[in-house]
Amino acid sequence: MTDEELAISVSGLRKSYADNVAVAGVDLAVRRGEVFALLGPNGAGKTTTVEILEGFRQRDAGDVTVLGVDPAKADQDWRRRVGIVLQGTGEFDELKVGEVVRHFARFYPNPADPDEVIARVGLTEKAGSRTHTLSGGQKRRLDVALGIVNQPELLFLDEPTTGFDPAARREFWELIRQLSHTGTTILLTTHYLDEAEALADRVGVIAHGAMIAVSTPAELGGRHLATATVSWRDENGTRTEETDRPTEAVQRLAASFGGEVPELTVTRPTLEDVYLKMIGETGEQP
């Protein structure tokens, strides 16, 4: 993969705080235009890694380029190409949504139209409302509006749906998909494995400051090849069978039942199953 195809390139990244090794040789490559989810338990090193990529923290060693630039030496032109949505951008209780977005737009030489940004994040009806009247999900949408008003090539999202109810989370996921469809590269951190599976083209798992796996959500840890569990119900109750050939098992059951198999399910390990096994093997706690 060429440098032009990469939004983020990291090799041998290291960072320590006194005797505590936070990042111990992370390698990472994020393609332009993809959604990449960074997973890991608290204390695994993912926050430090992301802060180095954002240019907020200096590294001890390693090679890092973000949009072709070393973040440690980045200038204002580079920062205009990057959007960052932290867990909380700030409080603007007495300002209206439109006022806040227009204020942030003035920081950049070529911002997007504030009204269009507000529409993209689904806040048009709230443009004239003061921010303290917004729900938690609406405030998070405002955070995203402030992160994309500069029309970034790369967007960092730090645990974007923490505290959301299920409906608000899925609405927010649709917003992220829309941003991705415009070609924006997105790096997100999340503790929600269903969120990573729903949004990410690829995921990376960090534990003990090292990247222990990078793959698609469907193939992480070989879950697509793992033994399947076939479950069904007969006159004796619920029955299960573990098999590497679930299609054959289903065909056999269908023949024995003469068609529809009662309460038939076929399951493989979930992304959460695989993730917990990975970090468990390293001694980390979720």
Contact (Cβ atoms closer than 8 angstroms) between residue 60 and residue 14? yes
Q: Residue 286 domain-assigned?
A: no
pLDDT at 43: 87
pTM over 0.75: yes
The domain tally of the chain equals 2
Cβ proximity of 25 and 10 under 8 Å: no
- Whether residues 128 and 70 share a domain: the answer is yes
In this structure, the answer to whether residues 189 and 261 fall within a common structural domain is no
Query: What is the phi/psi pair of residue 63, to 5°?
Result: -105, 130
Give the C-alpha separation, 255 to 226, whole Å: 25
pLDDT tens for the chain, residues 1 to 286:
666 799 999 999 999 998 899 999 999 999 999 999 999 998 899 999 999 999 999 999 999 999 999 999 999 999 999 999 877 656 787 899 999 999 999 999 999 999 999 998 889 999 999 999 998 888 888 988 999 999 999 999 988 888 788 888 888 899 899 889 989 999 999 989 999 999 999 999 999 999 999 999 999 988 888 899 999 999 999 999 999 999 999 999 999 999 999 999 999 899 999 999 888 854 444 3
The Cα-based distances of 204 to 56, 98, 145, 217, 268 in angstroms read 21, 36, 26, 9, 20
CB 230 within 8 A of CB 240: yes
Residue range(s) defining the domain that contains residue 248? 227-267
Cα(38)–Cα(137) distance, integer angstroms: 22
Measured CA to CA, the distance from residue 104 to residue 270 in angstroms comes to 41
* Residue 249 amino acid letter: A
Residues 135 and 249 both lie in one domain: no
CATH number for position 130:
3.40.50.300
Question: Do 240 and 56 touch, CB atoms closer than 8 A?
Answer: no
**Contact predicate 65/74, CB 8 Å:** no
Q: Looking at the structure, tell me whether residues 84 and 203 fall in a common domain.
A: yes
Pairing of strands 154-158, 185-189: parallel
231 shares its domain with 111: no
| pLDDT at position 89 | 57
Amino acid at 13: L
Task: State how far Cα 206 lies from the chain centre.
Answer: 13
Distances 267 to 235, 257, 261 between C-alpha atoms, Å? 22, 20, 15
**Residue 49 belongs to some domain of the structure:** yes
- Looking at the fold, whether 196 and 242 belong to one and the same domain comes out as no
* pLDDT at res. 284: 46
Q: Tell me which amino acid residue 222 is.
A: G
Alpha-carbon distance 123 to 117, whole Å?
A: 9
Examine the domain organization and report whether 255 and 113 are in the same domain.
Answer: no
